[in-house]
Structures are given as structure tokens and as C-alpha cells.
Amino acid sequence: MSLFRTELRRLSKRRFTRYMTLLGLLVLAAVVVGVFFTNQKIDAGQLAQAERQADQQYQEQVRWSEQERAACQQAKTAGTATDGRYPDDCSVISPPPREEIKAEWFLPSTFDFKETFDETLIPFAAILALVGFVIGASFVGAEWSTGGMMNLLLWRPKRLTVLLTKLAALLTGILAVTLPAAVLWFAGFWAVANFRGSTEKMTSGVWQSFMLTGVRGVALVLVLTTIGFALASLGRHTAMALGGVVAVMVVGQFGLGILLSMAGVRFAEAWLLPTYALAWMTKTVKLEDWNACNATYFGECKPATMEITWQQSSVLLSVGVVVILGAALWVMRRRDIS
């Protein structure tokens, strides 16, 4: 217990921890403020005007398609070559249905809590996961590279206990930042919706779904923190973890992405890690393959799809954590410290 408290104290004393946390929170605040200023509340007058504008556009479309159809028929009867400008059957030229033209198009953006709050949890989790990763990596990486770990092991020779206690302290610290930040995030966007949008139609089911997304976001933050910690401990250096991730992301993922798309592999995104992080947050990600055709009854061509679910992501995340942390612990047990 004393070791745990000491490690918490060490974590909070680190200037890097403080600055990174501050930076992360500032970015989050900036997002909230930005959304606040780019959204507006819509009153009845604005709504009516938007309807009128939509109507207007519909009329234009109707007029235009009639003109075109007339021109098409004229060309046909005259027998002039049209270079494929018009279809063979002039009757297919028709205006879009009225309901396809939406009034929202003519409205300034507004923040509908029920519709959009979900999506804001993705940048929230992403930013804090990044902060957690870097802090986790630096927390143990700097200990290794400055010899602090060796000093500590002279006091506490049980290596696994030391490493796991450090991890526990780190996760506690990250959680202590993430949870209040999440509460503030909810409150902040509730306020944004209140003043710059609407908070209507919030049922307890919606609340529950938001809560669950929030919990998944926090879990993602903790997972990435753990991975950063484990990688830096494996490499005994902060830079190892950061470099490793840059290498994986840039060479592994970016390069892999290019390679897969060149090779024409179906659902190339299914091989990329960010897809799974996204699926974890949004529950499902639907990948589409436009090179395949699933014909519908209406003769339309639908792309082949593949769904990646949060369950699949959870398997990937757990396996990742177990493998990387397991390796870090195994190496910690065995290696010579000098």
C-alpha cells in the first residue's frame, strides 16, 4: 500500500504528467468551446424559411428537368446527334422527389444532444487515450532510463509487484483525470445543446446508451495507457514506446493500407487498427466494397458490406493488452538490470 501511494505521489510530482494532462484538458475544452460557437439555436422563423428555401430548390429542379426533357425530345425528333448527352428514353429525366430535399440543408448547424453527443465521445476518448499513452510510457520509461527503477528495486526486490503497483498507480491517476473530465464533457455538451441546440427527446434509454459509450471510452483510455506503459517498460525507454507506435502506425498501418488497396484486397480497413478503435466506440463500423455488387430487387447495385462490431474490437483490445503487458512482465522477471 505504501508503495502504491508513493507511486501515485511520484506520478503527480512529474512535470511531464502535469503538462500533458493540462494540454489534454485544454484541447478538450477547446473542442467544447468550438462546438459552442459554431452552432446556433433554431427558432420557428428560421425553420419556416428553410422550408421555403427547400421548396424553392425543388421547384428549380422540376423546372430544370422539364427543360431538359423537352430538349431531349426535340433532339430526338430532329434526329441530331447528341453525343450521349441525353438518354434513349427521355421520360427517365425526372426531378428528385420532394422529400429528398431536406430543410436542414438550409439551416445553420445546431447541436442536437440526442443526435450528436455520441459522436463527441470519440474525440474525447481519442485525446485522453493519447495523453494516457504518452504519460504511461514516460512514467515508466523515464524510470528505466534514469536508473530510478534500479534504485527502487534495491528497496523493493519483488519485481512484478513493483511493476504492477506502478501500473495500478498510473491507471488510478489516469482514471482520476478521466472520470471528472467525462462528467465535465457531459455537462459541457449539455450546456452547448441547451444554448446552441436542443436537449429534447432524451429518454432514459438514450442516457443509458450514452453512459455505455462513455464507459467504453474510459476503457479505451485505460487500455492505451496500459499499452504505452508496457511498451516503455519493455524497451526501458519512453522513446521506445513512442517510436514503436509511430513505426506501427506509419509504416505498419499507413503502408499496409496502401499495400492492401494496391493489391485490391477486399475490406482493407479491416486490417487497420483505428477501424477497431472506432468500432469499439460506435458499436459497429460498416465497411463497404464498391467493387462488388449485390443486386437488389429494384435493379440497384448495393456494395458488399462487412460489419466490425465492438465485440470483435474488445477481443482485439484484450488480446493486445494481455500479450504486450504479459511480455513486459515476463521480461521484467527475467532480465538483468544494470
Alpha-helix residue ranges (DSSP H) falling in 15-111: 15-38, 44-78
Residue span binding another protein (CB under 8 A) among the ranges 12-20, 128-136, 220-228, 263-271: 12-20
Cβ proximity to another protein, 129 vs 232, nearer residue: 232
Footprint (CB under 8 A) of another protein, residues 13-42:
13-15
Of the candidates 77, 103, 100, 80, which has an alpha carbon nearest to the alpha carbon of residue 90?
Answer: 77
Grid coordinates of 218 = 474510459
What 3-state DSSP class applies to 291?
strand
From 122, 142, 219, 321, residue interacting with another protein (rule: CB under 8 A): 142
Cβ proximity to another protein, 102 vs 156, nearer residue: 156
Question: For the chain, how many helices (H) and strands (E)?
Answer: 11, 4
Q: How far is the CB of 3 from another protein (least distance, A)?
A: 5
Cα 54 → chain centroid: 33
Q: How far is the CB of 30 from another protein (least distance, A)?
A: 28
CB 132 within 8 A of CB 222: yes
Residue 286 contacts another protein per CB under 8 A: no
Cβ proximity to another protein, 150 vs 319, nearer residue: 150
Residue 6 contacts another protein per CB under 8 A: yes
Residue 146 contacts another protein per CB under 8 A: yes
Residue span binding another protein (CB under 8 A) among the ranges 150-158, 220-228, 268-276, 318-326: 150-158
From 56, 151, 284, 311, residue interacting with another protein (rule: CB under 8 A): 151
| DSSP class per residue in 264-288 | T-TTGGGGSHHHHHHHHHHSEEEEE
From 44, 154, 262, 295, residue interacting with another protein (rule: CB under 8 A): 154
Footprint (CB under 8 A) of another protein, residues 79-118:
none
CB 165 within 8 A of CB 152: no
Q: How far is the CB of 318 from another protein (least distance, A)?
A: 31
What 3-state DSSP class applies to 303?
strand
Our CA angle for 65, 67, 70, nearest 5°, is: 110
Residue 77 contacts another protein per CB under 8 A: no
Query: Rounded distance, CA 332 to CA 336, Å?
Result: 9
Residue 12 contacts another protein per CB under 8 A: no
Cα 8 → chain centroid: 29
- Enumerate binding residues for another protein (CB under 8 A): 2-3, 5-7, 9-10, 13-15, 142-143, 146-148, 150-158, 334, 336-338
